[in-house]
């Protein structure tokens, strides 16, 4: 069941016409369907029901507190990559024993905050980080649970910017070197080695790279156990892809089946860090057409959302679907859908056949629930847009539109300029 459906010609989110929400909050805005978020989380979790597992939703995909709370209420933990994300995780009421902390550049104060919060484990990405966590934990009189993020050197066959598990990546420790680092970690008094971690990339549309990675890390787990390490958690990261255009990614059930098969007999708690697959298609960005400019060689539909609101097309050249909120007009045009920002990279779609939108029409940029708002900025001094969640027939503004005052918060003008 898709919760972004047309009723007649009018796009609705669950029970509510998108047009009504636009009239209430103005445009642009992000719109999330609570039923979709919930369904995606439950589909993922239930696929692993037959094995011990922990789902740690990756906060960076969509970190709105209402979204996080929706997941906490369904038993989810979180994968965090910063002190700020830890702050959000704790605010949402997450059990800290369901939090894993990834990222190549953790700072001392962030490590300290995570230790004080008593998180489950750190996914350690370098030899030096082991030393630092050991030191900080020692200072606090704590023991830090750790997994080493290993780099299994498999090609996830996705966009290079979101490939993370190959030898040349900045992430993790090469799997060949990991045994040595685990031995060092085991000797450090304030670390407790509890897991092995990998995350090979994002927007994967095949199961095989995951299975290849699992085979490699499984061998490592067995080797580590052979040396007496008590490995209880195998964190397989996130990365499952979604349909933006015509991709045909494995369903969570297919993904789970392949992974469960690949770890059979291993006796570990599996940890997953899904982000995009949960939130991506649970949200849209609603925007209004400001002007339509018909050129000699190209048509431009100029909308009020821009690359600062949704960076993915500018950053990766990604495809985002464009739909008319009212689809009564059946004609189409081929156009670039662009924003007001002073950059040629500021587009939502290029040379795309889209509904013949007219000035003042509303459009939905689809599949915008993950890496949408979280990657937004204030570039061109544009206030960040509101986030709205619909649950059934209820419309909840879960983040207000920023004001001009918000734009200059913290700035000052020294007197002796
Ligand atoms: C970004 C990230 C994820 C989530 O990736 P998705 O592709 O959104 O599922 C999980 N784990 C780590 C370490 C990440 O950096």
Q: For residue 371, which atom of ligand 1 is closest to its CA?
A: 8
Q: How far is the CA of 62 from the centre of ligand 1 (A)?
A: 11
Q: What's residue 329's pLDDT?
A: 87
- Measure the CA–CA gap between 222 and 228, rounded to whole angstroms: 10
Q: For residue 103, which atom of ligand 1 is closest to its CA?
A: 13
CA gyration radius for the chain?
23
- Measure the CA–CA gap between 217 and 210, rounded to whole angstroms: 11
Q: How far is the CA of 275 from the centre of ligand 1 (A)?
A: 6
Element (H, E) at 302: strand 299-303
Mutate to test the pocket of ligand 1, among 273, 279, 315 (most ligand atoms within 8 A of CB): 273
288 has a pLDDT exceeding 80: yes
Tokens 């996830």 — which residue? 156
- Measure the CA–CA gap between 108 and 294, rounded to whole angstroms: 55
Q: For residue 201, which atom of ligand 1 is closest to its CA?
A: 7
pTM assigned to the model:
0.97
Strand, coil or helix: what is 223? helix
| Contact (CB, 8 A) for 373 and 60 | no
Determine which one of 13, 56, 198, 342 is catalytic. 342
Q: How far is the CA of 28 from the centre of ligand 1 (A)?
A: 27
Tens of pLDDT, residue by residue over 5-45, are: 999 999 999 999 999 999 999 999 999 999 999 999 999 99
Pairing of strands 347-355, 4-7: unpaired
* CA 97 to centroid of chain Cα atoms: 21
Q: How far is the CA of 2 from the centre of ligand 1 (A)?
A: 24
Q: Is domain 4-32+280-407 given the CATH code 2.40.37.10 in the classification?
A: yes
Q: For residue 275, which atom of ligand 1 is closest to its CA?
A: 8
Q: What's residue 1's pLDDT?
A: 62
Q: What's residue 296's pLDDT?
A: 87
Tens of pLDDT, residue by residue over 57-112, are: 999 999 999 999 999 999 999 999 999 999 999 999 999 999 999 999 999 999 99
Q: For residue 102, which atom of ligand 1 is closest to its CA?
A: 13
Tens of pLDDT, residue by residue over 121-151, are: 999 999 999 999 999 999 999 999 999 999 9
Q: How far is the CA of 273 from the centre of ligand 1 (A)?
A: 6
- Binding-site residues, ligand 1, Cβ < 6 A: 58, 60-61, 79, 102, 199, 202, 237-240, 273-277, 370
- Measure the CA–CA gap between 258 and 352, rounded to whole angstroms: 36
Q: How far is the CA of 315 from the centre of ligand 1 (A)?
A: 17
Q: For residue 61, which atom of ligand 1 is closest to its CA?
A: 8
Tokens 């090469």 — which residue? 174
Query: pLDDT averaged over the chain?
Result: 96
| Region for 40 from its dihedrals, namely left if φ exceeds 0, alpha if ψ lies in -120 to 50, beta otherwise | alpha
Q: How far is the CA of 374 from the centre of ligand 1 (A)?
A: 13
Residues facing 326 on adjacent strands:
10
Q: What's residue 346's pLDDT?
A: 97
167 has a pLDDT exceeding 90: no
Residue 257's alpha-carbon distances to 46, 50, 207, in angstroms, are 11, 10, 10
What CATH architecture applies to the domain 103-272? Alpha-Beta Barrel (3.20)
Residue 326's alpha-carbon distances to 288, 330, 360, 361, in angstroms, are 12, 10, 11, 8
Please name the residue whose Cα sits nearest to atom 10 of ligand 1. 238
Mutate to test the pocket of ligand 1, among 57, 59, 63, 79 (most ligand atoms within 8 A of CB): 79
Tens of pLDDT, residue by residue over 229-272, are: 999 999 999 999 999 999 999 999 999 999 999 999 999 999 99
Q: How far is the CA of 67 from the centre of ligand 1 (A)?
A: 16
Active site residue 198: no
- Measure the CA–CA gap between 81 and 62, rounded to whole angstroms: 13
- Measure the CA–CA gap between 144 and 118, rounded to whole angstroms: 8
Phi, psi dihedrals of residue 67, rounded to the nearest 5°: -65, -45
Delimiting residues of CATH 3.20.20.10 domain(s) in the chain: 103-272
Residue 382: CA atoms inside 13 Å, Cβ hemisphere, count?
A: 21
Residue length of the chain: 417
Delimiting residues of CATH 2.40.37.10 domain(s) in the chain: 4-32+280-407
């Amino acid at each position: 069941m898709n919760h972004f459906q047309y009723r007649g010609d009018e796009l609705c989110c669950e029970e509510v016409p998108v047009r009504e929400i636009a009239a209430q909050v103005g445009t642009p805005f992000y719109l999330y369907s609570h039923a979709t978020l919930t369904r995606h989380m439950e589909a993922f979790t239930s696929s692993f029901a037959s094995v011990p597992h922990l789902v740690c939703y990756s906060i960076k995909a969509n970190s709105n507190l209402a979204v996080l709370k929706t997941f906490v209420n369904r038993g989810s933990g979180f994968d965090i990559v910063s002190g700020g994300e830890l702050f959000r995780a704790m605010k949402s009421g997450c059990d800290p024993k369901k939090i894993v902390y990834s990222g190549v550049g953790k700072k001392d104060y962030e490590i300290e905050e995570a230790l004080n919060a008593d998180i489950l484990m750190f996914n350690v990405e370098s030899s030096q980080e082991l030393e630092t966590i050991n030191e900080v934990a020692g200072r606090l009189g704590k023991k830090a649970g750790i997994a080493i993020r290993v780099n299994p050197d498999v090609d996830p066959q996705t966009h290079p910017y979101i490939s993370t598990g190959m030898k040349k990546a900045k992430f993790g420790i090469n799997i060949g070197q990991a045994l040595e680092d685990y031995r060092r970690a085991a000797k450090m008094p304030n670390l407790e080695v509890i897991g092995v971690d990998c995350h090979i990339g994002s927007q994967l549309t095949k199961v095989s790279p995951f299975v290849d990675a699992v085979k490699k890390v499984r061998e490592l787990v067995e080797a580590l156990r052979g040396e007496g390490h008590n490995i209880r958690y195998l964190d397989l990261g996130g990365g499952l892809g979604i349909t933006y255009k015509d991709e045909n990614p494995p369903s969570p059930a297919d993904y789970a089946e392949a992974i469960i098969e690949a770890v059979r007999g291993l006796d570990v708690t599996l940890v997953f860090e899904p982000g995009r697959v949960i939130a991506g298609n649970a949200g849209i960005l609603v925007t209004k057409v400001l002007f339509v400019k018909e050129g000699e060689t190209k048509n431009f539909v100029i909308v009020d959302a821009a690359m600062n609101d949704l960076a993915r097309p500018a950053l990766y050249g990604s495809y985002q679907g464009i739909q008319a909120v009212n689809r009564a007009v059946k004609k189409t045009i081929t156009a670039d859908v662009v924003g007001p920002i002073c950059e040629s990279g500021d587009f939502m779609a290029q040379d795309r056949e889209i509904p013949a939108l007219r000035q003042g029409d509303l459009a939905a940029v689809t599949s915008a629930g993950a890496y949408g708002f979280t990657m937004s900025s204030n570039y061109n001094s544009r206030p960040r847009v509101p986030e709205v969640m619909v649950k059934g027939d209820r419309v909840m503004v879960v983040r207000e539109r920023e004001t001009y005052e918000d734009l200059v918060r913290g700035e000052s003008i020294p007197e002796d300029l």
